[in-house]
Amino acid sequence: MTTVSSNQRNRIHPHKFTLWVAMGSIIMMFAGLTSAYIVRSNQANWLQFSMPVVFWYSTVVIMLSSLTMHLSLKAYKAREMQRYRKLISITAFLGVLFAILQGYGFISLSGHGVLLLGQGSNPSASFLAIITGLHILHVLAGVVVLVVIFLKAFSTKSKVYSAVPIEIATTYWHFVDILWVYLFIFFMWI
């Protein structure tokens, strides 16, 4: 009996495994897109432009959100529910703020004559819009998960106390943070 329960404790939770598989496929997607960016950047009519300063601010915001997410998981595991609710709320807010700042970055580019999509746009700006837009969608998906977790934190119906959903959300949130840092560095110096 001890061997069976020991083996069960060493197994990865099925939801965590699914998340890792999903993150692997997301990595492959962004690796393909950034590879295509590099290949296309060596061809004619590639527009060189500098990234708006607001992308630096959005990077700081998403890194702060990763910290608040980590602290919210610690608070949940310590059963400090007030602190957990506050931190998960801050994390969701920072995720939305990140997306808004990214939008301002796109508006800033448009204001400087860099059309992102459609007629008159340049492939370099279109790549930026598509890659960054896909990342923003992944961040907003994480925000939806955070809102669901937040609502469950205030629910009186559920009495199950499992850290697995928060651990999964935290892993995903750190993943989109690291992914943005990679993309930011990529766009700044490639």
Domains of the chain with bracketed CATH? 12-189 (1.20.120.80)
Share of the chain above pLDDT 70, in %: 93
The pLDDT of residue 4 is above 70:
no
Tokens encoding 141: 């998906």
Tens of pLDDT, residue by residue over 135-159, are 989 988 988 998 888 788 777 676 6
pLDDT level of residue 178 (50, 70, 90 thresholds): very high
Alpha-carbon distance of 12 to 190, in angstroms, equals 37
Q: How far apart are the first and last CA of the chain?
A: 56
Tens of pLDDT, residue by residue over 70-90, are 999 999 999 898 999 899 999
The pLDDT of residue 8 is above 70:
no
The counts of H helices and E strands in the chain are 6, 0
